[in-house]
Amino acid sequence: MSQTTIVPHTQEPLVTRQYPSTSELDATIAKAASAQKEWSKVPLAERIAIGYKFIDEFKSLTNSTPLFLELTMQMGRPISQIPSEINGFLDRAQYMLSIANEALADVPLTDTDKPGFRRFIRRTALGVVLVIAPWNYPYLTSINSVLPALIAGNAVLLKPSPQTPLTAERFVTALQKAGVPSDVIHVVHMSPELTKHAIESKEVNFVSFTGSVVGGRAVEEAAVGAKGIKGVALELGGKDPAYVRSDADLDYTVAELVDGAMYNSGQSCCAVERIYVHESVYDPFVEKYANLVKTSYRLGDPTSPSTNLGPVVSLASAARIRKQVADAVRAGAKVLIPEDLFPEAKEDTAYVAPQVLVDVDHTMDVMMEETFGPIVGIQKVSSDEEAIKLMNDSQYGLTASVWTRVPVSSSSDSDDSEDAFLKIADALETGTVFLNRCDYLDPALPWTGVKDSGRGISLSRYGYDQLTRAKSVHMKMKTA
């Protein structure tokens, strides 16, 4: 069996990769499990040094191969926007390496209350980690788990999406050139059946999955049914809300929220998909928002440097997005972006026009179910309390953003102060709360979700906790 990557904007085949047989996959897993035992004995300082060399190797790879065009051809993002993912990939690698010594160090306990004893907590590698990466940000998402897992002493099996197989191969090539042993890091192209088989393997100790809720449930079910108990991290979908308060800087807020909804054609788990606007500024906000969408985007061939809105990933995805918009309109929603502004967005293509919907409510899928396209719904609210209620009225909880004035003086009215934002932040059921920004991952902060957005943590020092286990060492010292 094999997989073939279809170029979104041409619908032509790009690359084909063969799947291993079950016995071949088992052999790969066994090699990783054996190699991990030796890799975990390599001093942490040496593993970190290899990590820094990997950054240099990947930079060289980026300069010597058509990596930007390659990614555009695989998943359809405009080529002008590819460098931001590569830069983010390298920034996250740099940060996770910079904190590795501290995050993986033994944790000593003071023994003044227990003379004659020495106690500490050691971070120990899990073994073999299976990383299942998505197509929408294949470099940015895979770096979150792959590099920290290796630095912590694990072996890694990296399964890329069939849409972006070359990204994993580039990643692993740079790691191996930097000095990671070939059997410690493997690219594994697998069908769903083979993926289930790998998850169930007794030699796979942990699974890190980024993708859809449906996919995450399948991964968890396979892990539960596996031989032996293993951990699972699930980074799943989002229906991320934004709340625009009455005192927000509208010009700034509109520009940020348009980009937060439309960048990468809205194909981000933390893209802004629904906006709640205080009634006092609703009309000017909507007018500014729609006008900016109408005038800011050129939908077309993503390999052209002048294109800033590319196709969505597949014909099936495009059809699903169009249906969600059509269903909302039939239920009473109003579209603000004329279709003729984007003639490339035709049926039976992967091109989807950006769209802004008003007169929406929570009976509509466009405000409740993940869209993963360049579509946003805008709803009027009368108070912070109503906004909080609507923002929390979702099966998802990945990120949320609040847009309001932050005073430079503590003497300002407390209702408009940072305290007001923090009260809202405390009430929101989400993994990350932003103030006056959105659609961003800071590698120093834990990336996590609640509800159907998943469980587990990547990035930050807590990302290392997920990829290791705590071993308690309790020593009774010899006394005279």
pLDDT over 90 (residue 458): yes
Q: Are 51 and 225 in contact (CB under 8 A)?
A: no
Per-residue pLDDT averaged across 161-188, rounded? 98
DSSP at 3:
E
Concatenate the DSSP letters of all residues of 180-248 into one string.
--TTTEEE----HHHHHHHHH-TT--EEEEES-HHHHHHHHHHHHTSSS--EEEEE----EEEEE-TTS
Q: Are 18 and 2 in contact (CB under 8 A)?
A: yes
Compute the distance between CA of residue 285 and CA of residue 214 in angstroms, rounded to an integer: 35
DSSP at 423:
H
Concatenate the DSSP letters of all residues of 285-341 into one string.
HHHHHHHHHHHH--BS-TTSTT--B---S-HHHHHHHHHHHHHHHHTT-EE-S-GGG
Relative to beta strand 128-132, strand 107-108 is: unpaired
Compute the distance between CA of residue 90 and CA of residue 55 in angstroms, rounded to an integer: 7
Within 13 Å of residue 301, how many CA atoms lie on the same side as its CB? 6
What structural domains does the chain harbor? 2-236+453-476 (3.40.605.10), 240-442 (3.40.309.10)
Task: Provide the mean pLDDT of the chain.
Answer: 95
Q: Are 145 and 171 in contact (CB under 8 A)?
A: no
Q: Which helix (H) or strand (E) holds 388?
A: helix 384-392
pLDDT over 70 (residue 215): yes
Per-residue pLDDT averaged across 189-193, rounded? 98
Compute the distance between CA of residue 352 and CA of residue 177 in angstroms, rounded to an integer: 40
Could you tell me which residues come within 8 angstroms of residue 398 by beta carbon, excluding any fewer than 6 positions away?
236, 237, 238, 240, 269, 270, 430, 431, 432, 449, 453, 454
Q: Are 463 and 457 in contact (CB under 8 A)?
A: yes
Relative to beta strand 206-210, strand 128-132 is: parallel
Q: Are 311 and 300 in contact (CB under 8 A)?
A: no
For 57-95, write each residue's pLDDT tens digit: 999 998 888 999 999 999 999 999 999 999 999 999 999
Q: Are 449 and 238 in contact (CB under 8 A)?
A: yes
Compute the distance between CA of residue 319 and CA of residue 322 in angstroms, rounded to an integer: 5
Q: How far is CA 251 from CA 183, 238, 242, 257, 291, in A?
A: 53, 26, 15, 10, 12
pLDDT over 90 (residue 408): no
Whole-angstrom distance between the N-terminal and C-terminal Cα of the chain? 69
What is the per-residue pLDDT for 414? 47
For 296-355, write each residue's pLDDT tens digit: 999 999 999 999 999 999 999 999 999 999 999 999 999 999 999 999 999 999 999 999
What is the per-residue pLDDT for 471? 96
Per-residue pLDDT averaged across 457-480, rounded? 91
Q: What angle do CA 294, 295, 299 make, to 5 degrees?
A: 75
In the set 57, 85, 235, 370, the catalytic residue is: 235
Within 13 Å of residue 409, how many CA atoms lie on the same side as its CB? 3
Q: Return the bridge partners of 185, or none.
A: 156
For 384-400, write each residue's pLDDT tens digit: 999 999 999 999 999 99
Q: Return the bridge partners of 235, or none.
A: 210, 454
For 421-445, write each residue's pLDDT tens digit: 999 999 999 999 999 999 999 999 9
Q: Which residues of 263-272 are buried (b: 16+ CB within 10 A; e: fewer)?
A: bbbbbbbbbb
DSSP at 395:
S
Structure-block tokens of residue 413? 């009215």
What is the per-residue pLDDT for 111? 64
Amino acid at 339: E
Structure-block tokens of residue 242? 């934004």
Q: How far is CA 55 from CA 74, 84, 131, in A?
A: 23, 16, 20
Compute the distance between CA of residue 305 and CA of residue 90 in angstroms, rounded to an integer: 23
| Cα pseudo-dihedral 174, 312, 375, 266, rounded to 10 | 0
CB atoms near residue 446 (< 10 Å): 18
For 16-32, write each residue's pLDDT tens digit: 999 999 999 999 999 99
Catalytic residue at 235?
Answer: yes
